[in-house]
Structure 1
């Protein structure tokens, strides 16, 4: 078995197609099929069901996949570590996060990182939900994750700060801070689409206040929610850090406050470069 075979099969699974995987990997489809058959022969059992329009993992393939992803991630980190230790171009730092933080927290940090470490590339992995982020990190996707505190994380974790959520309403609203969310109990909300982690957060917070928000409109994009709220489509609960400096709507603090802890977490003690990135996040205070 080879890492290249692992990469081939993981790509076929992710793309759901031999044709698309071959195009992405820049190999011919017969060569790709041959390598995957060789891998299945080495394993001793089929890993894929070949269906007329797609492919899917067999039970053996589902058991195999997390280890393959981990092996590929470990190999890439080994290469990066060797480059760092050898004083080469320092390789690439992999950072995983949730969409709201890639929008509000990370841009100024990445700008400063580029100024300090111009030869270190950043690869950013973005996830819709904190649970999805934790699962990806458990499979070894990145050097470090930036997100809500993961439950029962077995590795390294460093607290960055507390993220505050605010309510956005139109500029002509007469409401003033602080506001109790129950004043919006009978209104239609600008809500997040199912699968977005903020949808679960909004529902949980409102449930604690004794009501279930009903959605007048749902959006996939965190950045769209405050824009729609400012346009008068309903209140939106948003992370304060995603709001631009120039904003047309009214921003209301919530009483009692809505907050969540943010952490940087890794599989193990971070290497010097990853630790430097975490330290920079601390210096910036995450702009929470």
Structure 2
């Protein structure tokens, strides 16, 4: 099905391109614009506007701010926060897509990716947010120690490490060192260590993000890799979070931007 627009999202690691409803993806090493132009090179799409979300050179709008705003030369703005200092690039597009389904949402979105963002929404605006690089830390430690991907979040090691980190987040650095020692001493295999590593990092994150999720309606928006772990972690705290697909929210956000551009002529 032909669409009147093309959409691209760059999440800091992966570039997604929507052409006529079809999605293609590539890992980016270098400039996302160069990768995008390579993806477009063999497609007959030069006559259609290209909308971008998550672009490094897009403008940043300070919070509190609505996300349903106009784009600058097709680039959807990111969001910035002065104190504590923070920013998000591609997540506003996903938030925008989510708000097309729930425009009156008043609560917190947990946007999972290479970094995880907890965003407080009210009256169609992002009031405040906090970013965590838990997944990035996991990838770095996993690569250094040759660990597998984290196992099922129902694994006892994940739950135990999660609860431990939530009760003693200040000890995270020591706990990570101890985890490495357990593998070296043969007290834990690498699969168990991967589950415990995920539990420690997410547990410390939940402890720090407690003001965002405690007593709030929370919706987890992700791409699949970590969603189940965050849902299980929140469930362990007595919170039943809803879930939305991050890629679909990104596409919906670009679609909403296109409709705004059309309405304004």
Q: TM-score, normalised by structure 1?
A: 0.27
Larger Rg computed on CA atoms: 1
**Larger RCO: Structure 1 or Structure 2 (Cα < 8 Å, ≥ 6 residues apart)?**
1
Q: TM-score, normalised by structure 2?
A: 0.28
